[in-house]
Structure 1
Amino acid sequence: MDVGVGAGQAAAGGATYGLITAGAIVTVLHCLSRYQVHDYADRDASIGLAGSLMAVVAAVTLVAAAGRIGGRLPGLRRPQWHVFVPLLLVPMAVVPLVLGAERNRVEAALLWGGAAVTVHVLLAYAPVGRSWRRWVSATLVLPCAAATLTTWGCQHRWRAQKFQAVGLPLIVPEVPGYQLTGTWAGRYSIRTALRGPSGRRLYGVVEAASVRYGGCGPGSDRRWRVSSAGDGLERAMSCLRDGTMLTLIPGGGSAGIADVLPHVRLREVDASVLADLPDEPAMSEPD
């Protein structure tokens, strides 16, 4: 067989297998929430793990079937090594994105789908000739490494996108002597944590104004209103734009907040500022 023709057929066969594995990855990612939110409503870990298992079984079955009925293409006539690619790449793509890493489903699907196609195409070249085989063995790991490093490099930007996706003003309360230590992008709120003198804590919650604390319609400029909830802790509410509000809540064991209110300044920030800080475990949305 002419090497040029054989290489072209191998590329076509490898691309066919690659599209099968890429389709498995895309299908699982499509079943997940747009962004990862670790709270009581998060089902992405179970969906991702179970979905990966089913996607691997489906992809391996389709790869084996394509090799059996593949006809003349060299890449399809030798599926024995290709069946191992979904076993590796589907969990590599999905599991980190559901067990802690930030994600953008579309970008992750393009990134790992492209890696899958590339790996299969390189693997299909191996039987064409010895020179191809040596080159493939040296470069087969590169697409996986590139996808892994790119996913890691996108973490900050994808985390910033998660704050933007909530659709609320990105407001940070600033208090003299307090340092912003953590943030949280939830499903309906954005939360910040501040640590002050002697371990004193303050939490800021931006969300849509509730009926109970109404009067925050468009154009409202009402500022701090202090009230006590059922837990006996004082809370201070301030209207923001577009019918939203910010609530300041003292941390457990901290004193009230009336003494700090005159010094509080609300600052609107870019999503990247919030993304710089880690998730605050105490800031998840209530059940």
Structure 2
Amino acid sequence: MAFDLTPLQKEVIAGLATGSITTLVVHPLDLVKIRLQLLATNANNLGYSYVIGSILKGGQGKSLQIVKEAYRGLGINWFGNATAWALYFGLYRVSKDLAYRLYTPGAEAGQDELRKDAKLTPLMYLSSGAISGALTSILTNPIWVIKTRIMSTNSREKSSYKSTLDGIQKLLREEGARGLWRGLIPSLFGVSQGAIYFMMYDTLKHRFSSLRHYEGKVNQDKNLKITETFVISSISKVVSVTAVYPFQLLKSNLQSFEAQRKQYTFSKLIRSIFEAEGTMGFYKGLSANLLRAIPSTCITFCIYENLKNCI
């Protein structure tokens, strides 16, 4: 028997699908980004060649093994991204609906989501994104701790986690449940990246794209054009990622094995990075992050925009 999905269910399903596909495509770039971020406290100015060399070394010159090393941690990364996108899109939908009901004068019942969203202000998008991001970060932080530790090491290192289950068991045994929440503070600061992104994305989408002419007509296409999605998502991602990248770098470092060994605190880590590489140390791996983030975001939102209108 056929049934209609609610807007919230559509957002969650679209989030699961987009998170899954994007992770499979860009996982190796994510791995390079994390390893570059963890070199920020190293004073030897190591970079891309060192990271790529470590992947090749872990693969021992065998093509299949090199691919396995490049996709190390894929399972936990896939699970984390699929879960996070589903949560984020779902919570973002709920937050925007709440903002519409509370702050939009003369709100009409029964309007579709596109028309309601078009009436929201940039501040409402920003607030909705911040709330959604904060809740998602808190709920998924343990996943990112395990992911960071698996992807920061090759499979042959003695201290590396052999699997997600192995990582959870070792972390709980050695650090307790508190270890699952390492890096949460910079992660919460980093929520502003998602909030800035969605504020820009939705503002550009509803003010400057072909959707601004949409009036709820049944036969009118409610999808963004592919070129519009590409341009809007790219601009929004470059600005938002660059603005808060230091917080992402700090989060990765606080979740690493090195942070546990050296007992890094938030302030101690900041001092270590500044002493090792100065201000630019806080932007280590930014180019790799943008190289990963821009195409992955374009893929994510092309799939998202089209999928949620098909289901």
TM-score strictly above 0.5: no
Q: Which has the higher contact order (CA 8 A, sep 6+)?
A: 2
Q: Which has the higher helix share?
A: 2
**TM-score, structure 1 length as denominator?**
0.30
Larger-gyration structure (1/2): 1
